[in-house]
Amino acid sequence: MLGAMSAPRPSPPRAARPPRPAPPRPAPAARLLAGDAGGRVRLYLGECRGLGAALGAEPLDLVYADPPFGTGARRRGRAGLAFSDGARGGPEAYAAWLVERLAPLWERLGPAGSLYVHLDWRSVHYAKVALDRALGARCFLNEIVWIYGLGGSSPRRWPRKHDTLLWYARTPGRQWFEAPRVAARSRRLAGRDKKAPSWWDIPALNNMARERVGWPTQKPEALLERVVRSSCPPGGLVADPFAGSGTTAVAALRHGRRAVLCDADPRALALARRRLEALGVTWAAG
C-alpha cells in the first residue's frame, strides 16, 4: 500500500503570525495640571475615572461627556493630531467602560444638576440601557438630537447625520433649566422666537471654521453654549471628563460659568489652554 509505505509528509511551514498589537497603556490617574488665578477653570490631565474623587467638595451643576465612541478607529485632526477611538470589546463592554467613568461624576452632581452624554448611532442604545440601570431610569429626561449636516450621503441608505445627547437629571423635576430661544419657522410665528425643540440644527465645524483648533471631533461652540446655558446656572460649575480641545470651558467662561476639564492626552489640554488664554485666562498653577 503506497500510503502506508510513504514517509509522513512534512507539515507545511506555518505562516508567521502577525505580532499582537500591544494593549493600549492605561493613562495615569487624573491630576491637576493647571488652574486659573480667578478660580474659573481647572484642567486635569489623565484617566477621568478618578476625576470625581480628585475634585473638591463643591457639587457640580452640570457634567457634559463627549467620550470616544469606541469605534476602534483613529480620529485624526490637523497637523498629525489624533487620538484612538479605542474599541472596547463590543458595545456592551463599551457601555460598561462609560458607566464606570460617569457614575463617580454623577455622584458629585448637586440636587439640581444634569448630565449630558454625547453619543452616536453605534453605541447610544447600549449606553442608554447601561446608564438607566446605573443612574436610575427615572432620572432620564430626554434625548437631544444634534443634526450636524456635514459629510457625504450614500444612495443605499439614510445618511447618518446626527448624534444623540442623553440627558439625565440628578433629581428629576428639580433640575436647573432655562429653555433657550430659537427663531420660529412656522408662518404663525414668523419673525418671532420660540423655545428650542429637542432637535438642534447646528452645523458641525467645517475645515475652514475660524474656531477650529485642529483637535479631531472638536465640537462647535454653539452646541456647547446651548448645553451650558440651558442646564448650568450663571456662576455654576460644569465638568467635562473627555474635554478634548476644551470647547465646554470656552462656552462656560463666555457665559459666566466655571469649568473643570479632564483629558488623557496632554496635546488636547495644550489646545484647551491656548483657547482659554485667548479669553483672558492666566494660570496660577502648572
Query: Which residues contact ligand SAM by CB under 6 A?
Result: 27, 47-48, 66-68, 83, 215, 217-219, 241-242, 244-245, 247, 262-265, 268
Strand pairing report for 60-65 and 109-119: parallel
Identity of the residue, 27 or 202, whose beta carbon is nearer to ligand SAM in the bound complex: 27
Dihedral (CA of 146, 149, 153, 155) sign: positive
* Cα-based angle 72, 122, 116 (whole degrees, multiple of 5): 105
* Minimal distance, residue 85 CB to ligand SAM, in Å: 8
* Minimal distance, residue 48 CB to ligand SAM, in Å: 4
Strand pairing report for 74-76 and 41-45: unpaired
CA distance 143 to 164: 6
* Minimal distance, residue 67 CB to ligand SAM, in Å: 6
CA distance 98 to 93: 9
* Minimal distance, residue 178 CB to ligand SAM, in Å: 22
Q: Tell me the HSE value of 255 on the side-chain side, using a 13 A CA sphere.
A: 23
Could you tell me the end-to-end alpha-carbon distance of the chain, in angstroms, rounded to an integer?
83
Task: Show the cell assigned to 118.
Answer: 454625547
* Minimal distance, residue 66 CB to ligand SAM, in Å: 4
Identity of the residue, 61 or 265, whose beta carbon is nearer to ligand SAM in the bound complex: 265
Indicate the residue type of 76: R
Identity of the residue, 45 or 112, whose beta carbon is nearer to ligand SAM in the bound complex: 45
CB atoms within 10 A of CB 31: 13
CA distance 191 to 188: 9
Contacts of 182 (CB under 8 A, 6+ apart): 193, 194, 195, 196, 197
Identity of the residue, 184 or 211, whose beta carbon is nearer to ligand SAM in the bound complex: 211
* Minimal distance, residue 122 CB to ligand SAM, in Å: 13
* Minimal distance, residue 272 CB to ligand SAM, in Å: 8
Whether 127 contacts 117, CB under 8 Å: yes
Q: Which residue is nearest to ligand SAM (CB)?
A: 244
Identity of the residue, 112 or 244, whose beta carbon is nearer to ligand SAM in the bound complex: 244
Taking Cα atoms as reference points, which of 74, 134, 70, 64 lies closest to residue 100?
A: 134
Identity of the residue, 48 or 166, whose beta carbon is nearer to ligand SAM in the bound complex: 48
Taking Cα atoms as reference points, which of 219, 218, 177 lies closest to residue 198?
A: 177
* Minimal distance, residue 206 CB to ligand SAM, in Å: 15
Identity of the residue, 146 or 215, whose beta carbon is nearer to ligand SAM in the bound complex: 215
